[in-house]
Amino acid sequence: GHDVRRPHAPCPFRRLRRAHGAVSDRERSDPVEDAVRSNDMRSTIAVGSGERTAAAGSSHVVAVTSRARSKKEKKYETMLLLRPDILEEEQDQELAKLEAFLTKNGATDFKCIVRGRQRIAYPIEGDWFGIYVLCTYNAMPTTVKTLEEQLSAPVAGNAKKNIVRQATFKA
Tell me the pLDDT of the chain (171 aa) as tens digits: 555 565 565 666 665 555 555 544 444 555 555 554 443 333 333 333 444 444 444 455 555 545 666 678 999 999 999 999 999 999 999 999 999 999 999 999 999 999 999 999 999 999 999 999 999 999 999 999 999 999 988 887 777 889 999 999 998
For residues 113 and 134, the answer to whether their CB atoms sit within 8 Å is yes
Q: Distance between CA atoms of 74 and 52, rounded to whole angstroms?
A: 24
Q: Distance between CA atoms of 30 and 111, rounded to whole angstroms?
A: 10
Instruction: List the alpha helices (DSSP H) in 65-129.
Output: 88-104
- The closest alpha carbon to 131, from 91, 72, 89, 76, belongs to 91
For residues 79 and 17, the answer to whether their CB atoms sit within 8 Å is yes
